[in-house]
Amino acid sequence: EADIYQTPRYLVIGTGKKITLECSQTMGHDKMYWYQQDPGMELHLIHYSYGVNSTEKGDLSSESTVSRIRTEHFPLTLESARPSHTSQYLCASSEESPWEYQETQYFGPGTRLLVL
């Protein structure tokens, strides 16, 4: 079972503040992902990484940025938070499977962000 952690779990912050959502995993997984999920809606991929120094944007346009300096960490940063950023942010990781397309993504508990 993979261990993947997200902090903070809940964050209430004012408009214009800079925030960083932390995500870390202890399984040595190369692939990591950030999803955004609004209540009752599907998850949308906003960023992913296939390894150190690799970051790509997902399908949903996001004003956030990510970095991957270490395998275990994949932080997400919003330079200037706005009410439209209010959502749940889920981090996930997966490892390369010896069997093609058998990769399972392991999810963290999520961060619920409220921007006032």
Partner 1 sequence: KQEVTQIPAALSVPEGENLVLNCSFTDSAIYNLQWFRQDPGKGLTSLLLIQSSQREQTSGRLNASLDKSSGRSTLYIAASQPGDSATYLCAALSNFGNEKLTFGTGTRLTIIP
From the list 12-20, 66-74, 75-83, 105-113, the region that binds partner 1 by CB under 8 A is 105-113
Token output for 62: 């996001």
Token output for 22: 């932390």
Of residues 14 and 99, the one with the C-beta less far from partner 1: 99
The verdict on 27 binding partner 1 (CB under 8 A) reads no
**Cα–chain-centroid distance for residue 67?**
11
From the list 13-21, 64-72, 73-81, 96-104, the region that binds partner 1 by CB under 8 A is 96-104
From the list 11-19, 41-49, 62-70, 72-80, the region that binds partner 1 by CB under 8 A is 41-49
Q: Would you give the DSSP letter of residue 93?
A: E
The least CB distance from residue 97 to partner 1, in Å, is: 10
The verdict on 42 binding partner 1 (CB under 8 A) reads yes
DSSP 39-65: TTS-EEEEEEEEETTEEEE-SS--S-E
Nearest to 39 by CA among 107, 93, 113: 113
The verdict on 43 binding partner 1 (CB under 8 A) reads yes
The verdict on 11 binding partner 1 (CB under 8 A) reads no
Do residues 18 and 115 make contact, with C-beta atoms less than 8 angstroms apart? no
The verdict on 59 binding partner 1 (CB under 8 A) reads yes
